[in-house]
Amino acid sequence: MQASREDTLPILKDLIGFATVSADSNLALIDYAAHRLRDLGAEVKVYRDGSGAKANLFATIGPETDGGIVLSGHSDVVPVEDQDWSSDPFEMRIADGKAYGRGTCDMKGFIAAALAMAPHYAKADLKRPVHFAFTYDEEVGCLGAQALMHDLALLPFKPAVCIIGEPTEMRIIEGHKGCCEYTVTFTGMEGHGSQPDLGVNAVEYAVRYVARLMELRETLKTRVPEGSRFDPPWSTLQVGRLAGGVAHNVIPGHATLDWEMRPVVNADADFVKREIAAYVKDELLPAMRAVSKDAEIVTEIIGEVDGLEPVPESEALRIVAELTGANGADLVAFGTEAGLFQRLGISTVVCGPGSIEQAHKPDEFIALDQIDQCLTMLGRLTSKLQA
């Protein structure tokens, strides 16, 4: 029981036509998917964000019980400005065995395949539910998926397995590092450069903060999990930008620091955050406020996305290996929403059509035979849902 390429491409064409750039609304796409699934008798829940302009979708075909399998994809795409496209990026074009358009591989191809399979799931006698999870704002910090996890935790049933359909050329991915991004603002007190002790030099305190980060970076190299297959095998940390000051002879009153870390395990992220917070509280702020009571250090979380940690026993890996015929799983450098599902206790892998090499580029495309392979996997999933 399987959908065809001919079933899928019209859906993909419709999805590409929704210009769901992260800065804009995704509601038209979510409404489209919700309508298709409701027509099949699915139980559909749409969760809007605080602005009302974005929404996640979570839908269920089959019994509302524990043990379901989630097919998950993000609805947003990256911008097309300043990219040299050969055709309208939001109008799908077929040529040379490929479908071109923004989001074809990242990751509307998988969403289209899942929606094309939905009528077949609806006709089957499912003992195990299949869920559809379509999120917003993955490209800007997995914001939609983080919100969705709170909603899923409140459901009366718990899915057991999740397949994230990011473009992996249908290879099974069992792990990737997390990604945590921060902006730290230092507020000191300006003064004349000839009397540095009478001011609070925000840049100098930012430099001290960076020096502590560099110490922690070296410590992370000693915390490598046994058997880590990542490259490099340890959690990484790096400073992306430090800005502050107005002139040579003015004590800077403000500085801004951007930094990130990519943890192999969530415990490393917790370790770094705990250590740097203690350094700010116990050393930097007391020294700054000894001169100015208004001195401050404020950390803004730009994004905290859990990594996907490889685990010895993975139901998701076992099931998807049986569906695809794969005899192993890989790791990737790019991040996904998979770690968020894993942290919720759902066994998760990443496996989807298309190549990450085409994502975010002009003339993004997905090979049509990749769609065929994805449909084969999703078709074989029916028997798992019926068992």
How far is the C-alpha of 107 from the C-alpha of 105, rounded, in Å?
5
Beta pairing partners, 56: 47
Q: Is 380:130 a contact under the CB 8 Å cutoff?
A: no
Q: What is the pLDDT along the chain (387 residues), one digit of tens a residue?
A: 789 999 999 999 999 999 999 999 999 999 999 999 999 999 999 999 999 999 999 999 999 999 999 999 999 999 999 999 999 999 999 999 999 999 999 999 999 999 999 999 999 999 999 999 999 999 998 999 999 999 999 999 999 999 999 999 999 999 999 999 999 999 999 999 999 999 999 999 999 999 999 999 999 999 998 889 998 999 999 999 999 999 999 999 999 999 999 999 989 999 999 999 999 999 999 999 999 999 999 999 988 889 999 998 999 999 999 999 999 999 998 899 999 999 999 999 999 999 999 999 999 999 999 999 999 999 999 999 999
Q: In this predicted structure, what is the pLDDT of residue 356?
A: 96
Q: What is the DSSP string of 140-208?
A: TTSHHHHHHHHHHHTSSS---EEEE--SSTT--EEEE--EEEEEEEEE-B-EETT-GGGSB-HHHHHHH
Beta strands in the chain (DSSP E): 43-48, 55-61, 69-74, 93-95, 98-100, 130-135, 161-164, 173-176, 179-187, 191-192, 236-244, 250-251, 254-262, 296-305, 330-332, 347-350, 365-367
- What is the set of active-site residues? 76, 138
| pLDDT for residue 262 | 95
And the tokens for 216?
A: 């922690």
Structure tokens that stand for 372 in this block: 């065929």
Residue 4: count of CB within 10 angstroms of its CB: 12
Q: Are 236 and 218 in contact (CB under 8 A)?
A: no
Residues 334 and 269: their CA atoms lie apart, in Å, by 17
Closest CA to 49 of 132, 111, 131, 135: 135
Q: Do 162 and 70 form a contact (C-beta atoms < 8 A)?
A: yes
Residue type, 37: L
CA pseudo-torsion sign 308, 312, 315, 317: positive
The sign one gets for the Cα dihedral 341, 122, 105, 319 is positive
Give the single-character DSSP code of 103. T
How many whole angstroms separate alpha carbon 349 and alpha carbon 76?
20
